[in-house]
Structure 1
Amino acid sequence: MINSKKTYSFYLNEDKKALGIKKLPLMLFFNPFDIDLEIWLFQKALRKCEYLYNVDKKTFFWKLQKFIAARRFKRLSCKLGFTIAPNSFGPGLRIVHRGTIVVNGQCKIGANCTINACVNIGAKAGFDEQVPKIGNNVYIGPGAKIFGDIIIADGCAIGANAVVNKSCSKPNLILVGVPAIEKGKVSISLLK
């Protein structure tokens, strides 16, 4: 959770590393085909909202900053198709593509998570408090659906279009299918 300038800076640096962004030359801003830049701007807006809303200051300037950051975050969310609540992901978030990504605001997802387009991470129908808890270094493939009061262990890879509704407590497993079943160990190269 971002609650100081130091952790805010740490989260931004980890997200930047995860996205593979070394520097942002001025020419990237003028490239209409650069999707990575848009995702990076979204992640910066996400982290700024987390920082501004987690640090409780009562000044007018702080409230104005919160309002402006929230408006920008909402605009970028709508533009890219992301419904991701602040304080859901740990540092090192890597969003691979723009497209529909829905994450319940109660979910807790660890550090260094890679998430693809058309992913839905949500509550069991009718139970808002029953949401997934996902560990560190998890890869979530395109179209994966993860829901219910479940736990996904560290280092797991969830395959494309998998439907995960049961916990996976063993680390470094591959989950595929509908409903998802364990299919062996994760190769290190798969997570990079």
Structure 2
Amino acid sequence: MIDSKRKYKEYLDCDKNALGLRNHNAFSRVKEFMAPNAIWGFQKLLRKVEYYKNCKKGPFNRVYYYYLKYRFRKRSMRLGFSIPENVFGPGLAIVHYGTIVINSNAKVGANCRIHACTNIGASGGNPEAPQLGNNVYIAPGAKIYGNINIANNIAIGANAVVHKSFEEEGILIAGNPAKKIKDIDIKRIIKHI
């Protein structure tokens, strides 16, 4: 969770690295000016909203926080994202535009790579939501719900329905309902870790 200016900058740097936006040459700056990356803009705004929510107190900062939250909601609706603050750790990589719905009680560790048409939510009216570890890859269409835990270094396959915990690290889970398919090396899927 972002709790200082240093952490805010660290989260931004990790997110930028996860999205593969490390070039700082003149061509990349011109390209970003002419055709801004909408997902990177969304993630920067998400982190700024988190920073102002967690760190900045006082009436003027509160007003600015609500202004940022208004802009964040507009951008979220335009891109199809429903992602609340303080859910994702550093190194978030949203790969495509499209529907992504995340419960505010969910927690996702560092270096998550998430695709479109993904839902992470509660189940049956219970407030508990999934807790995902570090280095988790979530393929398009995955549905993850309930009071469950997903270990570190796990890949969740396309259209998987995950409603039970997986404590073993370094595996691929897929199917409906999800089950272990095989052991994997997550560094082959999430390249920046």
- TM-score tier by shorter-chain length is over 0.9
Aligned to 2:32: 28
Does 1:162 pair with 2:148?
no
Do 1:118 and 1:144's aligned partners in 2 also have CA atoms closer than 8 Å?
A: yes
Do 2:56 and 2:62's aligned partners in 1 also have CA atoms closer than 8 Å?
A: no
Aligned to 1:97: 96
> Which secondary structure does the structure 1 equivalent of 2:125 belong to?
coil
Whole-angstrom distance in 2 between the partners of 1:16 and 1:28: 13
Q: What amino acid does structure 1 have at the position aligned with 2:8?
A: Y
Number of residues of Structure 1 aligned to a counterpart in Structure 2: 186
> Which secondary structure does the structure 2 equivalent of 1:120 belong to?
strand
Question: Structure 1 residue 56: deviation in Å?
Answer: 4.3
Question: Structure 1 residue 89: deviation in Å?
Answer: 0.2
Runs of 4+ in 1 over 6 A off after TM superposition: none
Aligned to 2:81: 82
Q: What amino acid does structure 2 have at the position aligned with 1:100?
A: T
> Which secondary structure does the structure 2 equivalent of 1:73 belong to?
helix
Do 1:157 and 1:191's aligned partners in 2 also have CA atoms closer than 8 Å?
A: no
Whole-angstrom distance in 2 between the partners of 1:191 and 1:111: 11
TM-score (norm: length of structure 2): 0.93
Give the RMSD, CA atoms, in angstroms. Answer: 1.2
Aligned to 1:54: 54
TM-score (norm: length of structure 1): 0.93
Kindly provide the CA deviation profile for residues 95-150 of structure 1, in whole angstroms up to 9, marking residues without a partner as x. Answer: 0001000000010100000000000000012112x210000000000000000010
Whole-angstrom distance in 2 between the partners of 1:57 and 1:117: 35
> Which secondary structure does the structure 2 equivalent of 1:52 belong to?
helix
Question: Structure 1 residue 27: deviation in Å?
Answer: 2.9
5+ unaligned residues in a row in structure 2: which ranges?
Answer: none
Question: Structure 1 residue 72: deviation in Å?
Answer: 1.4
Aligned to 1:174: 172
Whole-angstrom distance in 1 between the partners of 2:144 and 2:31: 38
Whole-angstrom distance in 1 between the partners of 2:57 and 2:32: 35
